[in-house]
A = this chain, B = another copy of it.
Amino acid sequence: MPIDNSNMLKVLEDFPHQCRTALELAKGMAVSGKIDKIAVAGMGGSAVGGDLLKAYMHNSKVPVFVIRDYKVPNFVDENTLVFTVSYSGNTEETTAAFEDALNKKAKIVAVTSGGKLGVVAKKAIKIPTGLQPRAALGYLFFPMLGVLANSGIVDVKGKEIEEMLDILSKTDDFKTVGERIAKKIGLRTPLIYASELFGAVAYRWKTQFNENSKVAAFSHVFSEMNHNEIAGYQNINKSDFIAIFIRDIQDNERIKLRMDITKEIISSRIDVEEIFTRGDGMLSRMFSGIYYGDFASYYLALANRVDPTPVTVIENLKKKLK
């Protein structure tokens, strides 16, 4: 019997709606003045939002830094826009990074449902409470995108957003594929790969397997994995690991070739599954890639008879840290 006591399924199914709502949250909020660097301080799902922003802005002249730490780098200054992102608003690394960014006179926008950050941040986008942070990725990401669009730093086309919402709303497609992948994985440890640009999507899969399914999972990127990790395949067993390649229509031609050849080479040692992102726009491609993984991790939890929602180990750790 499946276990989903807190109804994670409903939260996942609601994701397209969450993205639509999240897009409204930054309405009217902009930052002014010179901005020559952007930093996103956050942990876990909040940091993944930063990684996605970095990927979305990969062609930008403004560098994006993702900071998973108690401090922000020393080059953060008054021309740096720092998003401090914490679902609860109480993540200790992020509240410390907020203080540090404040001392460095950065322009700060917080994204949080409340907590300490909700109190101390002068400029904050309040997001709805009541979710697991990892299930709030839409709320954690789109407000940042909105602020940047309002400030003229990124140009997000309405068409691109509509395409993404349209693709994500075909929820059943994602469920079907996710369930199929979960079945294929079985008791094996999933190793998720994508291009460097889609590394955040692969990492999100990994973390969702960790937190929802409560299993070990790891991710890496092409072509870096061709320079080291692939050599480790010499001594692994099909019964222990399974590889999942997340492929994108716009992957560099050499990356496509590397993925094909790698699959050919490693297929004798490990099963390889392939997932293709959907759509033309970067938002569609990133979030469709993520949505498949969200369902895969959900169904893997059920298959393992684990409730996807609570993360007891992490809660336990937090208590001991106090």
Given A75-B63, A224-B43, A320-B261, are A233 and B196 neighbors across the interface (CB < 8 Å)? no
Partner of A68, one of B216, B223, B261: B223
Query: B223, A43: Cβ atoms under 8 Å?
Result: yes
Given A74-B60, A265-B320, are A207 and B228 neighbors across the interface (CB < 8 Å)? yes
Query: B252, A70: Cβ atoms under 8 Å?
Result: yes
Q: Return A228 CB to nearest CB of chain B, in Å.
A: 4
Query: A211, B228: Cβ atoms under 8 Å?
Result: yes
**Is A172 interfacial (CB 8 A cutoff)?**
no
Chain B residues closer than 8 Å to A61, beta-carbon distance: 74-75
Complex-state Cα separation, A241 to B236, whole angstroms: 13
Give the contact-size bracket for chain A.
35 or more
Query: A230, B317: Cβ atoms under 8 Å?
Result: yes
Given A44-B224, A61-B75, A75-B60, are A265 and B231 neighbors across the interface (CB < 8 Å)? no
Chain B residues closer than 8 Å to A211, beta-carbon distance: 228, 231
Query: B261, A317: Cβ atoms under 8 Å?
Result: yes
**Is A102 interfacial (CB 8 A cutoff)?**
no
Complex-state Cα separation, A62 to B75, whole angstroms: 6
**Is A321 interfacial (CB 8 A cutoff)?**
yes
What are 28 contact pairs spanning A and B, CB under 8 A?
Answer: A37-B63, A43-B224, A43-B227, A44-B224, A44-B228, A58-B73, A61-B74, A61-B75, A62-B75, A63-B63, A63-B65, A93-B223, A207-B229, A209-B232, A210-B231, A214-B231, A216-B232, A218-B218, A226-B314, A226-B317, A230-B314, A231-B311, A240-B240, A254-B321, A258-B317, A261-B317, A265-B316, A265-B320
